[in-house]
């Protein structure tokens, strides 16, 4: 068989300069294509979320129509979006619970308008913010209370302290008349319930270890107000929360160190696995009103 021999001066491959040119062309093509693909994916995620949002609202309206009840009563006494959605699943109006495709977005039931909306944030804390925003608690009145963060039987009922004032607002909405009588112990006017324990209790103790056993019937609480450094969100380990997860999971935490101002108070949610939600400030939550 005849085979052509390659001479010494004939090329058998690409030169370095040719490879560089090809790579440069590929880089330009990628630079053009990637934003287009990213934009397409983003638009696709938005479209899917909008379609699922319509599905949620249609399912809720259908449930109300077939049960012959007003839409505002479909999720009566259900305080979290996960449980609201699960009700639709359990009754056959959804095949499965829906999750958003877009990052940092969630489906949230707007109780004021009685409609599902796309909200920024995490489901549990978004629901809590929604409840608080529609509770009638006055933003300016809350922030005007500049007393120190006191805890103890002699001070926790004092409306001039941050702790007592917040607790009363959450429990009764009327600070001056709410004396925390035993009849409303552990209740809260905004209706927020711990989605894990199903309890609406509010606990405001500094030393969590001293009350875990004595107040076991209130645990895990819906809302926990404390100035114990064990609950400082900026602690990188959160070891204490992990070690006490059985009595803290599902809890909305209000933490404020002794030297912090009210505006620097930390608000966050403890997930069932011990991870924490994003961190929020009082302004961010009450500022939604």
Query: CA–CA separation, 226 vs 196, rounded Å?
Result: 20
- 199-243 residue pLDDT tens: 888 887 766 777 777 777 788 888 888 878 889 888 878 888 999
Query: CA–CA separation, 92 vs 87, rounded Å?
Result: 9
pLDDT per residue of the chain (289 residues) written in tens, 0 to 9: 555 555 555 555 667 777 787 888 887 777 776 666 666 778 888 888 899 999 999 999 999 999 999 998 998 877 677 778 889 999 999 988 888 888 778 888 877 678 888 877 777 787 787 777 777 776 666 665 544 444 444 445 555 566 677 777 777 666 666 655 444 455 677 778 888 888 888 887 766 777 777 777 788 888 888 878 889 888 878 888 999 999 999 999 988 776 556 667 888 999 888 888 888 887 777 665 3
- 105-110 vs 115-120, strand pairing mode: antiparallel
* pTM exceeds 0.85, yes or no: no
Query: CA–CA separation, 131 vs 78, rounded Å?
Result: 12
Query: CA–CA separation, 56 vs 39, rounded Å?
Result: 26
Structure tokens at 136: 């009638």
β-partners of residue 253 are 224, 268
Structure tokens at 206: 């500094």
| 8 Å CB contact between 107 and 123 | yes
**pLDDT attached to residue 183:** 45
**Got the DSSP string for 177-243?**
T----GGGTT--TT----TTT----EE--S-HHHHTTTTGGG-S-SEEEE--GGG-TT-SS-HHHHH
Nearest to 277 by CA among 247, 245, 252, 240: 252
Nearest to 202 by CA among 180, 225, 182, 179: 225
Measured CA distances, 71 to 61, 104, 110, 111, 121 (Å): 6, 27, 12, 10, 25
Any idea what DSSP says for residue 251?
P
**pLDDT attached to residue 152:** 44
| 8 Å CB contact between 276 and 268 | yes
| 8 Å CB contact between 149 and 162 | yes
């Amino acid at each position: 068989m005849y085979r052509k021999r390659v001479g010494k001066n004939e090329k058998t491959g690409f030169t370095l300069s040719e490879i560089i040119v090809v790579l440069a062309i590929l880089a330009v093509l990628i630079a053009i294509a990637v934003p287009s693909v990213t934009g397409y994916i983003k638009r696709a995620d938005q479209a899917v979320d909008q379609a699922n949002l319509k599905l949620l609202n249609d399912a809720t309206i259908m449930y109300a129509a077939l049960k012959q009840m007003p839409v505002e009563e479909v999720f009566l006494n259900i305080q979290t979006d996960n449980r609201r959605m699960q009700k639709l699943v359990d009754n056959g109006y959804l095949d499965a619970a829906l999750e958003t495709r877009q990052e940092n977005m969630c489906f949230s039931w707007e109780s004021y308008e009685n409609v599902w909306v796309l909200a920024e944030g995490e489901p549990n804390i978004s629901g809590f913010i929604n409840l608080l925003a529609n509770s009638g608690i006055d933003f300016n009145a809350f922030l005007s209370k500049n007393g120190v963060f006191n805890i103890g039987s002699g001070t926790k009922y004092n409306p001039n302290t941050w702790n007592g004032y917040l607790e009363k607002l959450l429990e009764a909405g009327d600070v001056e008349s709410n004396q925390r009588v035993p009849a409303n112990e552990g209740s809260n006017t905004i209706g927020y319930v711990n989605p894990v324990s199903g309890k609406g209790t509010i606990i405001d103790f500094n030393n969590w270890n001293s009350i875990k056993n004595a107040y076991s019937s209130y645990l895990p609480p819906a809302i926990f107000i404390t100035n114990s450094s064990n609950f400082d969100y900026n602690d990188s380990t959160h070891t204490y929360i992990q070690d006490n997860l059985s009595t803290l999971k599902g809890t909305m935490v209000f933490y404020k160190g002794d030297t912090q101002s009210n505006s620097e108070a930390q608000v966050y949610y403890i997930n069932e696995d011990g991870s924490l939600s994003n961190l929020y400030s009082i302004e961010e939550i009450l500022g939604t009103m």
